[in-house]
Amino acid sequence: MNKFILSAALAAAVASPLLTQSAHAQDSDANQPQTNQLDNFFVDGNLGQTQSRNDFTHNHSVFQNVRFGWRWNGYVGPEIGYVYLGRPKTDFSYIGSPINSGSNGQVSTKSRAATVGVNGKYDFYGNWFVTGHAGYMRSRTKIDGSVDGQTVFTDRTWNNGWYAGLGVGYDVTRNVSIGVNYDNYHLQYGDNSTNGELKNNVAAFSGSVEYRF
């Protein structure tokens, strides 16, 4: 009987600190904010300017982009979006041509694209952060040609391409951020079976607002 009482006392003495440590751990976990992965969805809007890296005489245009996405623990995840890449133009003339000599001509391209890719966000100091994203895009480009203001041809093509970009921003509140961004869109337009397929890099400089749910 005495041995049983002694053994029980020793077991209680050994278990006591373990039970106390477990209770503290549970209290600590209860005090930690619970992460809800559904809170990591976001919507992001960009407005800025594009610069076509091609031989356009008017290579600057309006840039608009909206993206919807999700980040695992606020760091990295998938995104989808829709982007308008502007309408760069180039001028030419028929000087010396036997037909329409001296007339002024213009060719313009207007591109839009649906995008799907991955994105990431990293907080590096206080409320400051850096972002990055990259992926695939399916673009639709309309090409118009005119002479003296009169349309002489129109062509529409669908093509594949890719995009990538970086940004830096600031968390204004827990849910709202602002930032500045640089993106590059690798466009293709035209058709190999007709006039050939053309390639063009479009740089985009923009400001952004992001809302996290």
Mean pLDDT along residues 194-208? 83
Average pLDDT over residues 111-137: 97
Q: What is the per-residue pLDDT for 55?
A: 76
Confidence band, pLDDT 50/70/90 cuts, at residue 4: very low
* Distance separating alpha carbons of residues 115 and 80, to the nearest angstrom: 5
For position 159, what pLDDT does the model report?
A: 92
Mean pLDDT of 97-101: 52
pLDDT of amino acid 44? 98
Instruction: Report pLDDT for 161.
Output: 94
Task: Please check the confidence at residue 181 and state whether its pLDDT lies above 50.
Answer: yes
Does 74 score more than 70 pLDDT?
Answer: yes
The confidence band for 192, taking pLDDT boundaries of 50, 70 and 90, is: low
Query: Token pair for residue 142?
Result: 């309309």
Would you state the pLDDT for residue 38?
Answer: 66
And the tokens for 55?
A: 């031989």
Span of 33-37, 77-81, 127-131, 184-188 with lowest mean pLDDT = 33-37
Band of residue 199 on the pLDDT scale cut at 50, 70, 90: confident
Tell me the whole-structure pTM to 2 decimals.
Answer: 0.75
For residues 168 and 76, what is the distance between their CA atoms, to the nearest angstrom? 15
Question: What was the pLDDT predicted at 20?
Answer: 43
The pLDDT mean for the chain works out to: 81
Check residues 125 and 101 and name the one with the higher pLDDT: 125
- Positive or negative, the CA dihedral 92, 157, 139, 189 is negative
Query: What would the two tokens of residue 196 be?
Result: 């050939």
In this prediction, residue 184 carries a pLDDT of: 97
